[in-house]
Amino acid sequence: MATILTIANQKGGVGKTTNAVNLADALAALKKKVLLIDGDYQANATSAMGVPEGHPGLATAILQRALFTNFVAPLERQPLIEVLAGAMDLNNIGQAFSELERNIMIDPVLGVVRHGATFQKTTALKGYDYVIIDTHPSLDSLLTAAMAVSDGLVIPLFPEKFSVDGLKLFYGWYNQAKVLNANLAIAGCLVTNFDQDNATHRAYLKQIRSLPEKYRIPVFDTVIPNSKSVAGASAIKQGVSQYRGKSPIAQSYRSLAKEIDKLYKDTQTTLIDPPVVEKPADIEIAIDID
């Protein structure tokens, strides 16, 4: 199937990495093979999965125009998940490419073949059921490149004003990305960090639930509750399903995984042979660290 999903929202602190890591774990629990790509220069998903710091990953693959298969890190704790690590080198990585190339710089990494505003997956993805791409909180070329190779977007939203208000800006970026990927679709908005006892959260959940009817923006039925288990699981490099499998948040991620798998289970993908890509000369990029 090799369904590619990007977890994206330009707002920071809405749970993109938490959702990417725990969705990957929940899909693996359904016996799905998952490639988790850490597209955030902070590399929090990489760390949460227990991949050693400095492991070559997405940045190296992008700069070398090389297939991800050369750099994946397998996980001992969960053999059905492999990780393509993030690193500080992802910051401003688009500067190493021309304006045209930077928006499709992940194409060679996943081995896709582009045909104008569509792309075709290759046998490089054979054996994977899902590719989950975690992204950093920015509207930039790296996010565009991730969206350009994705089948769907998962948009985490806190049930709060600034998070919901930011959806309008992100939706405009999504529409721009469709110029590169006409088949890109929003899999769903995902309400996270929800507190049932908070009246404001309940009011914003109701507002978010109205998005499909008002704007034709899908919203997942699953709601992810706030939970202290997230921090505890992260501290010992586990997903919440492994850390506290019977907790409400672990049950919510299993529900989300089933919801996504139902959405994409009938997707048929014909894989072709990946193109041969010549590696470029060594490239230097500028890294801005505040």
| Count of domains for the chain | 1
Report yes or no on 46 lying in a domain: yes
Please indicate, yes or no, if residue 275 is contained in any of the structural domains.
no
Q: How would you classify the pairing of strands 118-120 and 3-7? A: unpaired
Q: How far apart are CA 77 and CA 176, in angstroms?
A: 39
CB 155 within 8 A of CB 190: yes
Q: Is 211 helix (H, G, I), strand (E, B) or coil?
A: helix
Residue 272 lies inside a defined structural domain of this protein:
no
CATH code assigned at 52: 3.40.50.300
Per-residue confidence in pLDDT tens, the chain, 290 aa? 699 999 999 888 888 999 999 999 999 999 999 999 999 999 999 999 999 999 999 999 999 999 999 999 999 889 999 999 999 999 989 989 998 899 999 999 999 999 999 999 999 999 999 999 999 998 999 999 999 999 999 999 999 998 888 898 999 999 999 999 999 999 999 999 999 999 999 999 999 999 999 999 999 999 999 988 888 887 888 888 877 888 999 999 999 999 999 999 877 677 788 776 665 554 444 444 44
Residue 63 lies in a domain: yes
Token pair belonging to 53: 């710091």
Q: 182 lies in a domain?
A: yes
Domain extent at residue 150: 3-264
Report yes or no: 211 and 221 within 8 Å, Cβ to Cβ: no
Residue 91 lies in a domain: yes
Conformation bin of residue 205: beta by default, left when phi > 0, alpha when psi is -120 to 50: alpha
